[in-house]
Amino acid sequence: MARSLDIAARVSVLIVLGGCWGTIGDPENTSGPCGDIPEPALKRLSHTEYRNTVRDLFPKLTFPTLQLAPDPTPHGFDNDSESLYAAPLLVTQYNDAAGKIAREVALKKTMVLPCMASAGATCGHQFIADLTARAFRRPLADAELAPFKTMFDTYLAAHNFDVALELTTQAILQSPQFLYRIETGTPDNLSSPYDVASRLSYFLWATMPDAELFSAAASNQLGDADQIAAQADRMLADPRALDGFMTFTRQWLETSRIDRITKPSSEGWSEDVRAALHEEADKFLSEIVFKRGGTLSDFLLSNKAFIGPDTATFYGLPAPAAWTEITLPADRRGFLMQAQFLSATGHPDHPSPVQRGLFVLRNLLCVELGSPPAGVNMSVPAPAPTMPLTNRQNYEQVTAEELCQSCHKVINPMGFVFEQYDTFGRRRMTDTGLPIDPSGRFGTTTFVGPHDLLDFLVSSEQVHKCVVGKYLTYATGGQKTTSRDQCLVDDVTADFAASGGSLTGMMKSIATHPRYLGTAAQRPTPIGGKP
Amino acid sequence: MTLRRRRFLQAAGLGAGSLLLPSLSGRRSVNAGPVAGAVPRIVFCFAEHGVVRENWAMPRGNPDAGRWDYDLAAVPDAEFSQSLAPLAPFKDNLIVIDGLSIATGIGDPYGDGHAKGWNAALTGAIARETIEDVKSNASKPSLDQVLGKALRAQDPLLTDLVTQEFGIYQYNFHALLFGEPSPGAPVARLPHLEQPKGAYDRMFPNGDGNTPPDPRRVAQPDVLAQVAGMYDSIQGRLSAEDRKKLTQHRDLVRDMEARLRRLGGLSCAQPPAIKDYYWGQVPHWQRWVDHQKSFWDLTTVALSCGMSRVVSMQWGQVPVEECGGTGDLHEAYAHRSDPSHSTDPNYALAKTVMTNYSRKYYGFVAQLAATLRDIPEANGSLLDNTMIVILSDIANGNHAHEPWPVVIVGGKNFLRSGRYFHMEKETLTTSTASWVNDNTKIGYPHNHVLVALQQAMGVNVNFVGQPSIQPKKTSAPAIDLTGPMPGLLR
């Protein structure tokens, strides 16, 4: 099993889907205390973290687009430490990006330097010490600073201050200590205060530590639980916490799917609609779920949403002049009944119960199904005009074979509950003139329509565990965990339940857990659970 | 574009000694062999969805069974198939191969047809044996990268630009390229450049050469040397595996340093003027066409100057409107163009749209071929020394991996060009699917074409990816995947 799945798997409930390939839960899942703290994995900054870090290193500057080739996301998240290594093109792009940033720094040096350039080498050395301490996320020893100072002095002597500033900045921004999170640790193999600061900031903010975190690290104020909790509270109240939340949430919910679909323009589809659907999801997640301290229940059941001029029609509502928060009609609740999700899981001319069902199974229930077997034609033929079928009937026919049914008997019933919403997410009561059957099931639980499903999901222990697993997978950057880490999983799961399913509460629970921070093997006082 | 050929030959490090190709297999020795002194280059082009075979194939009255081939150069232009018509002007320097199979893709139990093709088409290998993330798990690096590594080993003057990877509107996910693995890590999908400006800046670090040297540019190799040194001295809590990752990064920085030092002294051609747009800056199709021209111009310079010997161009889907359709090309047309959808009311339109679709890509190739043909080199033209290979992930709208269409434009100094080859279904199936009969026959494995291309590039290895594969019928002997396809090498 790939190691990044371990955490999600450890919180999954083992169920058996006879005949369907796939990973459903972890047969080795056992609860228990944590063992020794594992060695930290080297983590290259994800592209999101890289761009955010550059932004915060030079807050007064703006930069042209920094092109970076997409990283693999084998487990759905772009910060998988196993997958983030150097590739030829990426190293070249790091060089290009460093060149662009450094050029801007030199051009606008008065906005960046902590001193007057007229001071020459003295100012250059001060800049180097200041920049490296932030870029490398810890202060440097004199011996580490020396090569940069020598480099600066060489180019200062050969050319001028600007050239020396630019070239030295380029080198710093291509250094391993900047591009990778390299932890120094303590002699007893725990995280150092600076390691803790970075673990907090890259999880909660998806960027580098701020001055206050650095200061706390420097004065050894990141040692006990109260100090950590106070920092987490402060950070969660900072606008950058939304970056951290959205970086996770967009990937968990695969909101980028909307970029890969097309619909007929004759039905009103356009690039503006695509952008508006992105905004719809972002507004719901940021305003209603995050900023209001939302819970998993709010995510699934809230009757609040945002509509814009380009999306109102999908809800059968008059178009507002600008984005407006609304109370949804009674037939809709939560993220899964909004246009963004329903459109993103639809083909041009018909909704896809398979995509909708798979989304719920994989992203909310952590049921990992295998891929279709070799040689299967997965296209869905248009029904013959002489014998109209509903979309559901068509999918049932296409997947009727026993081989298909080994998986589709699980997938289809989960997706069929959304059939009363077309491929744009518009409500419909008939399909090709025929009545729609929105019944479905999961295991032995049956539903009629999405409201039933949502009620099931919101009270499902499996869903709660799955969401915890997803967040932990993201938080740890896919770092390998074993049964030794079970206390982290157990504690966060218990905290999540105790908080009523608060997503921001889960952020704090993870961020402050000594196992996550690497400051102790486990919590000194178990909270909500097992020793 | 002005090319100073003598300078090019010096820059490319292609003295007479380095042009001697290793002796190839016995099967090859019966042929004339490559033209002496010719320097092989290759361009891999990839577009999804295969072809509409009835509008692509040119059987010319031959049976659909058996091995046969004929002289393409004798076919009047007007008799070329609808799809291949854009390549008719190059018919004496063109190879069309019908009837192949991606046997390793067929033998892959995981992923859909597209995924199996991405993993196997250029790797020649079965995907990694895992059911997780089935769409990104090739087990071997792709041939372009294998060639790049081998060519650099042959010629120390080549840099990391020995291979270049370009793409247009191509989500990296739907791609054929897989890199050499990082230590301890599996083979991973290789990113490609989508912006011509990025390629330009890499190829011409000193700009167009018409402006005075910028001290900051001149200093770049030294800056990189300094950076590389930092990777050696790193401290921290690092496992052996992590240290290997940093070592790999360091080596790539050193590669870049070497490239800059080398390109700094290379002035074989004026950099082409390129157009580069960010997404949405201009209409999608205009961006595509302009980026295509820019990438082809860069490709031409890279190949002619000795910067690169291998270039890859990976295409996304041409806008459906350019092919005569609307909506979603994949769903509405690609699948439905297959004869298995012959009762679909959209079948006829789907065939038309998908024929136009593949014709677009062959048209792009024709643009490059025309440019290369106009550049003289020893032993003919740059086109004679460059094999432009057009591949897909699947054969047709049914997600099948046979009969897999391959077209090669150019390279007549190494290949038996001007031929149309038809291969027979003569290989026991490698499929593991329960409903496939053990004795089902599939087309001639495409690995032999990859081997031929590898040997044509002067890399004397007799297999690509894996040397054999077990047929479904387990009592049967393993299927041999070694050796070049007979008759393909010159």
Per residue in B435-457, pLDDT (tens digit) is 788 899 999 999 999 999 999 99
Asked if A356 and A345 count as a contact pair (C-beta separation under 8 A), the reply is yes
Q: Which of A227-241, B206-220, B461-475 has the lowest mean pLDDT?
A: B206-220
* Closest residue in A to B134 (Cα–Cα): A371
Chain-chain contact of A91 with B253 (C-beta, under 8 angstroms): yes
Identity of the residue numbered A43: K
Mean pLDDT of chain A: 88
* Closest residue in B to A260 (Cα–Cα): B171
Q: How buried is residue B320: exposed, middle or buried, by Cβ count under 10 Å (0-12/13-18/19+)?
A: buried
Model confidence pLDDT, tens digit, residues B204-238: 877 777 777 788 888 999 999 999 999 988 877 78
pLDDT bracket for residue B382 (50, 70, 90) = very high
* CA B104 – CA B111 distance, rounded (Å): 13
Chain-chain contact of A370 with B231 (C-beta, under 8 angstroms): no
Average pLDDT over residues B244-255: 92
Chain A partners within 8 Å of B318 (Cβ): none
Chain A partners within 8 Å of B252 (Cβ): 86-88, 91
CA distance B3 to chain A (A): 27
The H-assigned helical ranges of A284-335 are: 296-301
Q: Is the pLDDT of residue B8 over 90?
A: no
pLDDT bracket for residue A28 (50, 70, 90) = very low
Nearest to B172 among A40, A70, A261 (CB): A70
Interface test with A, best of B118, B130, B226, B342 (most A CBs within 10 A): B226
Chain-chain contact of A372 with B112 (C-beta, under 8 angstroms): yes
Q: Is the pLDDT of residue B10 over 60?
A: no
pLDDT of residue A85: 82
Question: Who wins on pLDDT, A282 or B328?
Answer: A282
Identity of the residue numbered A16: V
pLDDT of residue B330: 85
Asked if B224 and B256 count as a contact pair (C-beta separation under 8 A), the reply is yes
Residues with Cβ within 8 Å of A138's Cβ and at least 6 positions away in sequence, in order, are: A184, A192, A194, A217
Q: Taking Cα atoms as reference points, which of B206, B197, B176, B140 lies closest to residue B391?
A: B176
pLDDT bracket for residue A382 (50, 70, 90) = low
Residues with Cβ within 8 Å of A210's Cβ and at least 6 positions away in sequence, in order, are: A56, A201, A238
pLDDT of residue A25: 39
Model confidence pLDDT, tens digit, residues B390-433: 999 999 988 899 999 999 999 999 999 999 999 999 999 998 77
Task: Name the maximum alpha-carbon separation found in chain B.
Answer: 71
pLDDT bracket for residue A106 (50, 70, 90) = very high
CA distance A110 to chain B (A): 20
pLDDT of residue B117: 93
Average pLDDT over residues A81-94: 84
Chain-chain contact of A264 with B226 (C-beta, under 8 angstroms): no
* CA A479 – CA A477 distance, rounded (Å): 5
Nearest to A176 among B112, B230, B433 (CB): B230
Q: Taking Cα atoms as reference points, which of A238, A188, A234, A197 lies closest to residue A215?
A: A197
Chain-chain contact of B229 with A147 (C-beta, under 8 angstroms): yes
Interface test with A, best of B192, B203, B331, B393 (most A CBs within 10 A): B331
Percentage of chain B lying above the pLDDT 90 cut: 62
β-strands B163-168, B310-315 pairing: parallel
Question: Who wins on pLDDT, A57 or B258?
Answer: A57
* Closest residue in A to B159 (Cα–Cα): A88
CA distance B18 to chain A (A): 26
Bridge partners, residue B377, by sequence: B380
* Closest residue in A to B165 (Cα–Cα): A89
Chain A partners within 8 Å of B171 (Cβ): 260
Residues with Cβ within 8 Å of B373's Cβ and at least 6 positions away in sequence, in order, are: B90, B93, B381, B382, B383, B410
Model confidence pLDDT, tens digit, residues A256-279: 888 878 787 788 888 899 999 999
Chain-chain contact of B252 with A182 (C-beta, under 8 angstroms): no
Q: Which B-chain residues 444-483 have CB contacts (< 8 A) with chain A? A: none
β-strands B380-381, A434-435 pairing: unpaired
> What sign for the dihedral angle of Cα A136, A139, A142, A148?
positive
* CA B330 – CA B407 distance, rounded (Å): 22
Interface test with B, best of A89, A101, A138 (most B CBs within 10 A): A89
pLDDT bracket for residue B26 (50, 70, 90) = very low
* Closest residue in B to A76 (Cα–Cα): B133
Q: Taking Cα atoms as reference points, which of A421, A419, A463, A417 lies closest to residue A440?
A: A417
Chain-chain contact of B327 with A264 (C-beta, under 8 angstroms): yes
Question: Residue B46 carries which DSSP code?
Answer: E
Chain-chain contact of B185 with A83 (C-beta, under 8 angstroms): yes
Q: How many residues does chain A have?
A: 531
Asked if A2 and B130 count as a contact pair (C-beta separation under 8 A), the reply is yes
Residues with Cβ within 8 Å of A230's Cβ and at least 6 positions away in sequence, in order, are: none
Chain-chain contact of B249 with A176 (C-beta, under 8 angstroms): yes
Interface predicted TM-score (ipTM): 0.88
Q: How many CB pairs under 8 A join A and B?
A: 199
CA distance A126 to chain B (A): 20
pLDDT of residue A89: 80
Asked if B295 and B313 count as a contact pair (C-beta separation under 8 A), the reply is yes
Q: Please report, for residues A517, B57, B83, B436, the alpha-carbon distance to residue B80 in angstroms, rounded to integers and kept in the order given.
A: 67, 9, 8, 35
Backbone dihedral angles phi then psi of residue B462, each to the nearest 5 degrees: -100, 5
Nearest to B223 among A67, A90, A167 (CB): A167
* CA B90 – CA B362 distance, rounded (Å): 12
Domains of chain B (ranges; CATH) run 5-198+269-480 (3.40.720), 206-263 (no CATH)
Angle between helices A121-135 and A161-173 (to 10 degrees): 20
Model confidence pLDDT, tens digit, residues A271-317: 899 999 999 999 999 999 999 988 999 999 999 999 999 999 999 99
pLDDT bracket for residue A165 (50, 70, 90) = very high
Q: How many residues does chain B have?
A: 490
Question: Tokens 């387990």, residue?
Answer: B474
Backbone dihedral angles phi then psi of residue B45, each to the nearest 5 degrees: -115, 140
* CA B192 – CA B139 distance, rounded (Å): 19
Model confidence pLDDT, tens digit, residues A499-511: 999 999 999 999 9
Chain-chain contact of B242 with A42 (C-beta, under 8 angstroms): yes
- Locate B106 and state its tokens: 């067929």
Asked if A75 and A251 count as a contact pair (C-beta separation under 8 A), the reply is no
* CA B95 – CA B412 distance, rounded (Å): 9
* CA B104 – CA B430 distance, rounded (Å): 7
Average pLDDT over residues B66-92: 95
Interface test with A, best of B249, B263, B399 (most A CBs within 10 A): B249
Angle (nearest 5°) at CA B204 between B200 and B205: 110
Average pLDDT over residues A352-379: 81
Chain-chain contact of B131 with A158 (C-beta, under 8 angstroms): no
**CA-derived radius of gyration, chain B:** 22
Which residue pairs from B469-475 have beta carbons closer than 8 angstroms and sit at least 24 positions apart in sequence? B469/B103, B469/B104, B469/B107, B469/B126, B469/B430, B469/B445, B470/B107, B470/B430, B471/B427, B471/B428, B471/B429, B471/B430, B472/B428, B472/B429, B472/B430, B472/B431, B472/B432, B472/B436, B472/B438, B472/B440, B473/B428, B473/B429, B473/B438, B473/B439
Question: Residue B42 carries which DSSP code?
Answer: E
CA distance B1 to chain A (A): 27
pLDDT of residue A282: 97
* CA B9 – CA B7 distance, rounded (Å): 5
Chain A partners within 8 Å of B195 (Cβ): 67
pLDDT of residue B261: 85
Q: Taking Cα atoms as reference points, which of A167, A207, A246 lies closest to residue A50?
A: A207
Average pLDDT over residues B355-359: 97
Question: Tokens 């903010």, residue?
Answer: A205
- A 10 A CB-CB count for A260 gives 10
Interface test with B, best of A191, A377, A380 (most B CBs within 10 A): A377
Nearest to A348 among B130, B230, B327 (CB): B327
pLDDT bracket for residue A380 (50, 70, 90) = low
Interface test with A, best of B252, B279, B307, B469 (most A CBs within 10 A): B252
pLDDT of residue A187: 87
* Closest residue in A to B107 (Cα–Cα): A374
Q: What is the dihedral of CA A174, A180, A184, A185, to 10 degrees?
A: 170
Nearest to A39 among B188, B237, B335 (CB): B237
Asked if A418 and A351 count as a contact pair (C-beta separation under 8 A), the reply is yes
pLDDT of residue A402: 82
Percentage of chain A lying above the pLDDT 70 cut: 88
Bridge partners, residue A239, by sequence: none
pLDDT bracket for residue A10 (50, 70, 90) = very low
Instruction: Please check whether residue B281 touches A, CB under 8 A.
Output: no
Instruction: Please check whether residue B378 touches A, CB under 8 A.
Output: no
Mean pLDDT of chain B: 87
Average pLDDT over residues A420-424: 95
Asked if B27 and B486 count as a contact pair (C-beta separation under 8 A), the reply is yes
Q: Which B-chain residues 323-352 have CB contacts (< 8 A) with chain A? A: 326-328, 331-332, 335-336, 338, 340-341, 343-346
Nearest to A5 among B132, B320, B327 (CB): B132
Chain-chain contact of B327 with A262 (C-beta, under 8 angstroms): yes
Question: Tokens 């032999």, residue?
Answer: B448
* Closest residue in A to B130 (Cα–Cα): A1
Chain-chain contact of A374 with B431 (C-beta, under 8 angstroms): yes
